[in-house]
Amino acid sequence: MSKERLIAFTDAVLAIVMTILVLELQLPAAPTLEALLALTDQFIAYAVSFFWLSVMWVNLHNEWEQVEQVTLSMIWWNLFLLFVTAVLPYGTRFASLYFNHYFAQLFYGLLVFLITVAFYGLCHATAKSNPETTVRHSQRFLRIEVLDHVIKLVGLLLGLVYPPLIMFAVIVTAVIVLFSIQHYIYCSAIRKKERKEGISYEKQSH
């Protein structure tokens, strides 16, 4: 299977999942501000899930840019990632309806954690199959991976005190990963510019 075909399939599934998230939002019981504000928990849950998925999507594309070879292991990890991600609208809906209940937030948090495990599993499979092009990515994300898992697990424990802290932990990890992506993109642009300037200088010297 070509890289382009796998990326297109992944993008299509993620786009459907993100669309379903908004379709799960309820209409207010009445055309009033009070009725709309009564749905605040649902809008918070939707925003958390959409933002987190968006960060994962950007991260996926940064990883796939360096891929030259697609293996069976990568395909199955990718399918597992999409399988658990497709359940996210259900988990988001459940958590939004019972926003302050631990079990509902626990279900949501465990689902997000499972998606996270699948995502990093795909990253490792990609690095293993493309060692020359993605080893730098694997090293870069190693610390982020550990921190990502730890924060989400701590969130699950803190949820015993205040259940919405589980969603807060998801947002914190998304922001951390987002900043790491932006830092990588900036550094990559600097390195590319330096390489181009170096090549240009060599040509001029010859």
Quick one: pLDDT at residue 188?
A: 60
Name the average pLDDT for the chain.
87
Half-sphere exposure of 157 (CA within 13 A, CB side): 6
- Can you read off the two tokens belonging to residue 193? 């510019």
Quick one: pLDDT at residue 197?
A: 63
Whole-model pTM: value is: 0.86
How far is the first Cα of the chain from the last one, in angstroms, to the nearest whole number?
43
Quick one: pLDDT at residue 108?
A: 98
Lowest-confidence region among 68-82, 97-111, 123-137: 123-137
Lowest-confidence region among 43-47, 63-67, 148-152, 166-170: 63-67
Quick one: pLDDT at residue 171?
A: 96
**Coil vs helix vs strand at 106:** helix
Quick one: pLDDT at residue 105?
A: 98
Is 136 a residue whose pLDDT tops 70?
no
pLDDT digits (tens, 9 = 90+) for 28-44: 999 999 999 999 999 99
What are the residues whose beta carbons fall under 8 Å from the beta carbon of 6, sequence distance 6 or more?
70, 74, 75, 78
pLDDT digits (tens, 9 = 90+) for 53-100: 999 998 888 778 778 888 899 999 999 999 999 999 999 999 999 999
What are the residues whose beta carbons fall under 8 Å from the beta carbon of 77, sequence distance 6 or more?
118, 121, 122, 125
**Coil vs helix vs strand at 160:** coil
Quick one: pLDDT at residue 145?
A: 86
Average pLDDT over residues 126-145: 69
123 or 36, higher pLDDT: 36
